[in-house]
């Protein structure tokens, strides 16, 4: 096994890096948007985020806030 030393200097073009990251994000969003179907329905929340109460079978929430 041989060992050797070397020096590496690198610089990053921030503008090019940011453009590449944005392009990757955009490609991901476009690809994901073709793969996902979103259905929006007029549903009432089943769980109160304030106290954790769960909606009753009759549709009422047991909490009053």
What confidence score (pLDDT) does residue 34 get? 86
The CA distances from residue 24 to 16, 20, 28, 31, 35, in Å, are 12, 6, 6, 10, 17
> Do residues 22 and 15 make contact, with C-beta atoms less than 8 angstroms apart?
no
Residue 53: band (very low, low, confident or very high) from pLDDT cuts 50, 70, 90: very high
Please state, as a whole number, how many other Cβ atoms lie within 10 Å of the Cβ of residue 7: 4
Using the 8-state DSSP alphabet, how is residue 4 labeled? -
Structural domain spans, the chain: 11-65
Question: What's the mean per-residue pLDDT of the chain?
Answer: 89
- Summarize pLDDT for 10-36 with one digit per residue, the tens: 899 999 999 999 999 999 999 888 888
What confidence score (pLDDT) does residue 46 get? 87
pTM metric for this prediction: 0.41
Contacts of 47 (CB under 8 A, 6+ apart): 53, 54, 55
Residue 44: band (very low, low, confident or very high) from pLDDT cuts 50, 70, 90: confident
């Amino acid at each position: 096994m041989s060992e050797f030393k070397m020096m590496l200097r690198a610089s990053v073009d921030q503008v090019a890096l940011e453009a590449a990251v944005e392009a990757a994000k955009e490609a991901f969003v476009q690809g994901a948007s073709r793969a996902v179907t979103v259905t929006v329905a007029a549903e009432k929340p089943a769980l109160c985020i304030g106290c954790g109460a769960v909606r009753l079978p009759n549709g009422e929430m047991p909490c009053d806030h």
